[in-house]
Structure 1
Amino acid sequence: MRLDSHQHFWKYHPKKHEWITDDMKVIRENFLPDDLIPLLEQQELQGCVAVQADESLSETAFLMDLSTEYEQIKAVVGWADLGSDDLDKDLDLFSNQPKLKGYREILQAKPVEYMLRKEFIRGIEKLGKRGYTYDILVFPNQLEATLEFLKKCPEQPFVIDHLAKPYIKLGTWREWKKEMKPLAERDYVYCKISGMVTEADWKNWKKEDFNQYMEIALEQFGPKRLMFGSDWPVCKVAAEYEQVFELVDEFTNKLSPSEKAMILGETASNFYGIKE
């Protein structure tokens, strides 16, 4: 199955989505499944993984409702406060939802100490016991702490969103590569080739700007632990959906058909436990 492993839906609200700044005004509108499905079909993708954008239980409920209505939404990555004493109760709210496959918080916006708290680690352990995955959203300057975090949770399936947001606009990669390496050495850690265009020069990027980063990801994780994601509609600040897909599609043409198929869907299907 060919899948987009990372995209978002929302009904735009200025307060709720205040992170959408003036220079991102192109995404200050509603983005819903009827907008995405034609884009998936154009690239012969059979489905998507809807990932939380707002940190609230209502966000998880919103995505679950959409997944019930649209069969193209194959999985949902929701939100919960993993450090909360009420976590079990919050997880119970959605325990009967088979398309809810994992959780995520906006760790990139939090101090590095946040993910190392014993309460947070306890929450990750609770996710694991229930069979959920966890998406890690961090910046490169959080990778050292992320490694310490991963060491505390060796049984939990993780996926790093957006290649940990390397500094593509600056063209720097050596330090990022060095810090990603010990994460990739852990076979329970996967990585999404997603979110690249928004880390580049939005108006002046070129295809070759991304090759070094994809090469490193391929070298470190291999096709069995890499998955394509569009990061739509956020990607629209720098590129249209077909442009984002084309970057990964063309890069993977050098691989065997089976390896290409892994990155374009099979890895995501295996990681999230998606059944056709």
Structure 2
Amino acid sequence: MIDTHVHFWNFDPVRDGWISEDMNAIRKDFAPKNLIRVYSELQISGCIAVQASQSEEENEFLLTLAEQNDIIKGIVGWIDLKNPNLTGRLNYWNNFKKIKGWRHVLQAESSEFILDPNFISGIKQLEDYGYTYDLLCYHNQLTDIIKMVDQIPDQPFVLDHCGKPDIKNKDLKAWSENIKTLAQNPNVLCKVSGLLAEADWKNWKETEIFNCFDVIFENFGTKRVMYGSDWPVMLISRPYQDWFYLVNKYVARFSDEEKKLIFSDNAKAFYNI
């Protein structure tokens, strides 16, 4: 089994300002060694390490961790897709085969950024290298994401955290409609990850999470969904095992072959691991 979404960091209160005071559980360092015991317990063989800082130094940091820890099977790094010398930077990073794709924290950006022709042009270059692209956005940005993705039909995309639905306020109508539209693009996959952070951290109900899963699986199907934890961010709500068992409870309705797609095969094919 592959966990397609984890982060590692040496906590810096300035750089990691998004980790607010009420997220005290994750205001500290997180390294691969912190995952080994739980992965062994749950028989998870490895993970995809996803960028948490927007600098090329983050790529170096994750590559160093990957050299030292076999559980890191691939890296989703960061690169400036608007860089006039993007080709040069892509050529450089293409030497490091553990880097499978790229991500920008679009949830912090405006419509103008997401739909900037220079940004879209940058994503279009990724196909030449076989790179994937992780889409990180809030539910209210999905209309812009759809417009952007429609312009790049051959680029492999994956939607992180189901597009961050507004579970806490129980407002899923527009999100559900946009997920249906986005999923009509066969080049877009979805990670079932990160939903605990979008709910009431301590008081969410199983049905609230499963309602979101219903929408995702109805539209993406088992061939375009992959398991992810969003560790350690999800620790603001529950221990790792709670999320893993919650996903397993939901997917119990599927065949063994479909479960293998969700927990392993889709990730291996998408990230080429």
Same fold (TM > 0.5): yes
Q: Answer yes or no: is the 8 Å Cα contact 1:49–1:76 preserved in 2.
A: yes
Alignment of 1:99-248 (within 5 A): 99-248=98-247
Q: Once structures 1 and 2 are overlaid, which stretch shifts more, 216-225 or 36-45? A: 36-45
Match of 1:97 in 2: 96
CA distance in 1 between counterparts of 2:151 and 2:180 reads: 17
Q: Secondary structure at the match of 1:67?
A: helix
Q: Secondary structure at the match of 2:93?
A: coil
Aligned AA for 2:270?
Answer: F
CA distance in 2 between counterparts of 1:89 and 1:67 reads: 23
Deviation at 1:92, TM superposition (A): 2.7
Match of 2:73 in 1: 74
Alignment of 1:7-86 (within 5 A): 7-86=6-85
CA distance in 2 between counterparts of 1:210 and 1:267 reads: 22
CA deviations over 1:209-250 (Å, ceiling 9, x no partner): 211100110000011100110000000111110011111111
Q: Answer yes or no: is the 8 Å Cα contact 2:49–2:75 preserved in 1.
A: yes
Deviation at 1:8, TM superposition (A): 0.3
CA deviations over 1:148-171 (Å, ceiling 9, x no partner): 101110110000000000011112
Give the TM-score normalised by structure 2: 0.98
Match of 1:4 in 2: 3
- CA RMSD between the two structures: 0.9
Deviation at 1:200, TM superposition (A): 0.6
Deviation at 1:178, TM superposition (A): 0.5
Q: Answer yes or no: is the 8 Å Cα contact 2:150–2:185 preserved in 1.
A: no
Aligned AA for 2:38?
Answer: L
Q: Once structures 1 and 2 are overlaid, which stretch shifts more, 150-159 or 85-94? A: 85-94
Aligned AA for 1:63?
Answer: L
CA deviations over 1:93-141 (Å, ceiling 9, x no partner): 3211111100000000000121211111111111111110000001111
5+ residue gaps in structure 1?
none
Q: Answer yes or no: is the 8 Å Cα contact 2:158–2:191 preserved in 1.
A: yes
How many pairs does the alignment contain?
A: 273
CA deviations over 1:38-95 (Å, ceiling 9, x no partner): 1211111110000000000000111111111111101100000101112122223321
Give the TM-score normalised by structure 1: 0.97
CA deviations over 1:4-33 (Å, ceiling 9, x no partner): 000100001111111110000110111000
CA distance in 2 between counterparts of 1:174 and 1:118 reads: 30
* Percent identity (aligned): 41
Q: Answer yes or no: is the 8 Å Cα contact 2:132–2:157 preserved in 1.
A: yes
5+ residue gaps in structure 2?
none
Deviation at 1:206, TM superposition (A): 2.1
CA distance in 2 between counterparts of 1:113 and 1:223 reads: 33
Aligned AA for 1:75?
Answer: G
Q: Secondary structure at the match of 1:102?
A: strand
